[in-house]
Structure 1
Amino acid sequence: MNRNKYNLRSMIVCSMFAAVTAVLAQIEIPLPLVPISGQTLAVGLTSTIIGSRLGAIAMMCYAAIGAVGAPVFAGFSGGLHVLLGPTGGYIFGFIIAAYVIGYILEKSSYTVKMAMLANTIGMVIILLCGTLQLKFVLDLSWSVALVSGVYPFIVVGLIKAFLASWIGIVVRKRLDQANVLLTQHRV
């Protein structure tokens, strides 16, 4: 495939996964400070399916689209104030987590077991980034930040990590069988 065609396909794939993230962001369970949403499931799916580089780019696109005001974040919110506000750290964490999840899979194997490990590490990264910003923006104590930004998300985060791993590996294998994966790392 020539370089221009590959670049166009990469942009389309990243845009599609940014859109999937925007859609899953609207599935939410409201909590006092930080809602539970489908965004982290989208991060895991994205990086499990398309890898570290494209996964991180897709999450950067998602963050950029939201930063300019498109209502793609949880609760149909958008704007730079969301990224700089109490929950913005989670969105920045999506970029790092997407890269790390994809990188772990690229350096090991595309199995549900390895994807579960990678997605669990990604969940921890997202929770740490989110809790750090939550703590400092709202001037919370560490204990309150952890109670608000980590503890309510552990069980549901593990469930989403499993779903992202299982669904992501199945989809990735099907895309590999159809010979349409953009990455050079085969299943």
Structure 2
Amino acid sequence: MSQAIANPQQSAIGNVATVALAVGFITLSAKISIPFWPVPMTMQVATILLVAGLGGLRFGVASVGAYLAAGAAGLPVFAGTPEKGVGLVYMFGPTGGYLFGFLVAAILVGWATDRFGRRLGSLSMPLGLALIYALGVAWLAQFVPNDKLFAFGIAPFLFGDLCKVALAAFLVIAAPATLTRWVRGRD
């Protein structure tokens, strides 16, 4: 008999706690800045892909959705907050499309992981990054001239993000089965 059937209240508490832990992990990844050229690098992209790759669709969407909700509520969870603003003001600023792209990437990677397993699901991570960029640049077009979109919205981040995709894929594939069972056991 599964834990969810044996004690639904305990399972719900475990779900909330696990998602809260993932939100904390995503927040921490946004706050730690690694000196990099031409712009400092955070580990948000890797963490978003890692959470979805380990936990699947439900956990990935719940975690990234809760992260975005916390930011919308004004908690300083995003990179550059509170210095660059908080809440919806920040979310509707130049980086808003990338934030929404995190959710879309979590949907794709989580679905692929559920459908094909961790190894093959990890192959969807580059497409997840492409979706983050597509939504990010489409939104950024409101703030930056079209001829500068690649230079401002992709070029400074591409090499670092490709390294983060590789890191996330490696960690998802190499993760012990007990970790993924623990994360997924919270469904």
The one of 143, 155, 166 equivalent to 1:162 is: 166
Name structure 1 gaps, 5 residues minimum: none
Q: Is the 8 A contact 1:59 1:98 kept in 2?
A: yes
Q: Distance in 1 between matches of 2:73 and 2:186?
A: 32
CA contact (8 A) 1:50 1:183 kept: no
Match of 1:126 in 2: 132
**Structure 2 stretches lacking a partner, 5+ long:** none
Question: Which residue of the partner structure matches residue 26 of structure 2?
Answer: 21
- Structure 1 residue 88 corresponds to structure 2 residue 96: yes
For 2:9, the aligned partner's letter is N
Counterpart of 1:71 in 2: which secondary structure? Answer: coil
The aligned residue for residue 9 of structure 1 is 14
Equivalent position amino acid for 1:154 in 2: L
Aligned-pair identity in percent equals 28
State the Cα distance separating 1:30 from its structure 2 match. Answer: 7.8
Letter of the 1:27 counterpart: I
For the structure 1 residues 181 and 14, does the alpha-carbon distance in structure 2 shift closer, same or farther, using more than 3 Å as the test? closer
Residue of structure 1 in register with 2:107 after alignment: 99
Aligned residues: 179
Q: Is the 8 A contact 1:14 1:54 kept in 2?
A: yes
Q: Please report how far the alpha carbon of residue 135 of structure 1 lies from its aligned counterpart in structure 2 after TM superposition.
A: 0.8
Provide the TM-score with structure 1 as the length reference. 0.84
The answer (yes or no) to whether the contact 2:29–2:44 under 8 Å persists in 1 is yes
1:79 aligns with 2:84: no
- SS at 1:152's partner residue? coil
The residue that corresponds to 1:180 in the other structure is: 182
Q: Is 1:67 paired with 2:72?
A: yes
For residues 38-85 of structure 1, the C-alpha deviation after alignment (integer angstroms, 9 at most, x for no partner) is 111110111011111111111111111111221111023332111100
- Normalised by the length of structure 2, the TM-score is 0.84
